[in-house]
């Protein structure tokens, strides 16, 4: 029997090496070279083609190589085998460091100082201490909670919003429409870590984003489609949103014609805030797969939204 491997066709040599190191003896078949579908009993996939998983009659379980579920939500049908999300603490910490970097960037006015440097201008401005700088986190799942706690440990005043009640150490947790309405006007920076689902498609539109105080910043490490990009650009143009660090976009790679590339108050990164590391990911999957074979379900099952 064998593992079907497809990381959107990328870095398969690294994934193979990690599987060899941490799952010795497991045969690996790379998609699309699957001459005998009967030999596939597990799949490790990311952005896999819809419908293909139904070809493998002996498929026992599917391990998605990331925490996002939007590509699975797009499948018209799912296999009978259970699907599990990957939550890698190393990836979560990488995203926390990315978010901390940009939070400090906006708190300490580093964009202003960079602009001054071009004109050899020496001027200093008062900046708030971390405990006076209010960070609002949208989404308190496994990754959002980790990031919120990391920011709180670094002294920031962190609030977190979710649709239902949550409790996160060091974080002021709010929920529901009333909690969101209370949190947004106080925020100096809004961090989006929402999952992309039908309910969150363009959730951050003009009506939501305009509730931020004038000059507040935005960091998006979720999915591009969670934001109405036209509304965001209008608020950036008006100065209502003072700056944005965007790692994800509706269309990726970001088209060269996009105004985000040239907007003076936007920082673009190419969806790299929390890349999956094959070695650490396979260590997690190897442990979960061994547990699964002994009747222990992995901790993060995928459930399709109704």
Q: What SS3 state is found at 171?
A: coil
Q: Note the pLDDT tens digit of each residue in 100-127.
A: 999 999 999 999 999 999 999 999 999 9
Query: What mean pLDDT comes out for the span 200-225?
Result: 98
From the candidates 22, 85, 105, 223, give the one annotated as an active-site residue: 223
Q: Assess whether pLDDT exceeds 90 at residue 303.
A: no
How many angstroms separate the Cα of 24 from the Cα of each of 53, 139, 286?
A: 24, 37, 10
To which residue do tokens 């920031």 refer? 156
How far is the C-alpha of 272 from the C-alpha of 294, rounded, in Å?
35
Tokens of 167: 């409790």
Domains along the chain with CATH numbers: 2-88+276-293 (3.40.50.720), 89-268 (3.40.50.720)
**Distance separating alpha carbons of residues 51 and 77, to the nearest angstrom:** 7
> Token pair 């960037």 is at which residue?
105
| Rounded distance between C-alpha atoms, residue 69 and residue 302, angstroms | 8
Q: Which of 12, 271, 303, 304 is catalytic?
A: 271
Q: What is the per-residue DSSP string for 127-139?
A: ---GGGSEEEEE-
pTM over 0.85: yes
Q: Grade residue 67 by pLDDT with cuts at 50, 70 and 90.
A: confident
Quick one: which of 109, 112, 103, 147 has its CA closest to 245? 103
Mean pLDDT value across residues 166-183:
97
Q: Is residue 223 among the annotated active site residues?
A: yes
Helix, strand, coil % (nearest 5) of the chain? 40, 20, 45
Which stretches of 11-88 are DSSP H helices? 12-22, 70-73
């Amino acid at each position: 029997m064998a593992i079907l491997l497809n990381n959107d066709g990328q870095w398969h040599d690294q994934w193979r090496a990690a599987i060899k190191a941490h799952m010795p003896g497991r045969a690996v078949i790379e998609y699309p070279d699957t001459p005998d579908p009967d030999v596939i009993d597990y799949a490790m996939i990311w952005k896999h083609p819809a419908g293909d998983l139904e070809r493998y009659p002996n498929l026992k379980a599917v391990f998605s190589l990331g925490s996002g579920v939007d590509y699975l939500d797009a499948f018209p049908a799912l296999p009978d085998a259970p699907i599990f999300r990957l939550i890698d603490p190393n990836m979560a910490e990488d995203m926390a460091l990315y978010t901390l970097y940009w939070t400090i960037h906006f708190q300490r006015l580093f964009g202003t100082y960079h602009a001054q440097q071009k004109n050899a201008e020496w001027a200093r401005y008062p900046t708030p201490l971390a405990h006076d700088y209010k960070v609002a986190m949208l989404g308190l799942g496994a990754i959002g909670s980790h990031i919120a706690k990391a920011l709180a440990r670094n002294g920031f005043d962190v609030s977190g919003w979710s649709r239902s009640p949550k409790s996160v150490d060091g974080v002021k947790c709010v929920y529901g429409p009333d909690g969101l309405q209370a949190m947004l006007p106080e925020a100096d920076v809004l961090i989006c870590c929402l999952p992309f689902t039908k309910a969150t498609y363009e959730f951050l539109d003009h009506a939501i984003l305009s509730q931020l105080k004038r000059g507040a910043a935005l960091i998006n490490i979720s999915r591009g489609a969670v934001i109405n990009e036209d509304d965001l650009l209008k608020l950036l143009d008006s100065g209502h949103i003072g700056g944005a660090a965007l790692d994800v976009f509706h269309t990726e790679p970001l088209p060269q014609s996009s105004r985000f590339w040239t907007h003076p108050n936007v920082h673009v990164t190419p969806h790299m805030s929390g890349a999956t590391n094959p070695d650490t990911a396979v260590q997690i999957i190897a442990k979960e797969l061994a547990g699964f074979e002994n009747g222990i379900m992995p901790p993060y099952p995928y459930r399709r939204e109704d």
